[in-house]
A = this chain, B = another copy of it.
Amino acid sequence: MTDFISRREFSIEWAYCDPTGIVFNGRLFEFFDWGTWTLFEAALGVRPSELAGVFGIAGIPLVDASARFLNPARFGDVVEMSSKVKEFRRASFDVEHCLFVGGRLAVEGRETRVWTTRDASASSVVRSEPIPDAVIARFRSQ
């Protein structure tokens, strides 16, 4: 597990809620995505829209995502989300997101993403690539 944690606070908007008045689950995976971009920007000092360009990669696409819904988040609730890299492997990594409402854990999320580059011969194809040590170091040293 790395040491670096980023935090983000936001409100549950009307547009996020389903007919029972709680956040629709698909939206939570949007929040996790927000969390990962925020975490990488905080750790690497690179704006999300420049991440691919700066590191010469195609992106960090998801290969696995999951969530546990422990307590409902409702319209108007203020969410405190903390995000961190749980594990770096050679070419992939796990990000963990914890969403708190009123100090109580509401949702736990997990994403597995891959560090990818475009194939030289077919630009629509991406392949995994070792994560640079310098990137991993930034998540450890802060």
Chain A residues near B (Cβ < 8 Å): 13-15, 17-22, 24-30, 33-34, 37, 47-50, 58-59, 61-70, 74-76
Q: Distance in Å from the Cβ of A67 to the closest Cβ of chain B?
A: 5
14 A-B contacts, Cβ less than 8 Å apart? A14-B18, A17-B19, A18-B19, A19-B19, A19-B75, A20-B59, A25-B29, A26-B28, A26-B29, A49-B74, A49-B75, A61-B69, A63-B68, A65-B66
A66 to B66, CA, bound (A): 4
Contact in complex: A26, B18 (CB < 8 Å) = no
CB-CB under 8 A from A62, the residues of chain B are 25, 69
Q: A72 → chain B, closest Cβ, in Å? A: 8
* Residues of chain B lying within 8 A (CB to CB) of residue A21: 19
- Are B25 and A33 within 8 A (Cβ)? yes
B26 near A14 (CB under 8 angstroms)? no
The chain B residue sitting closest to A64, CB to CB, is: B68
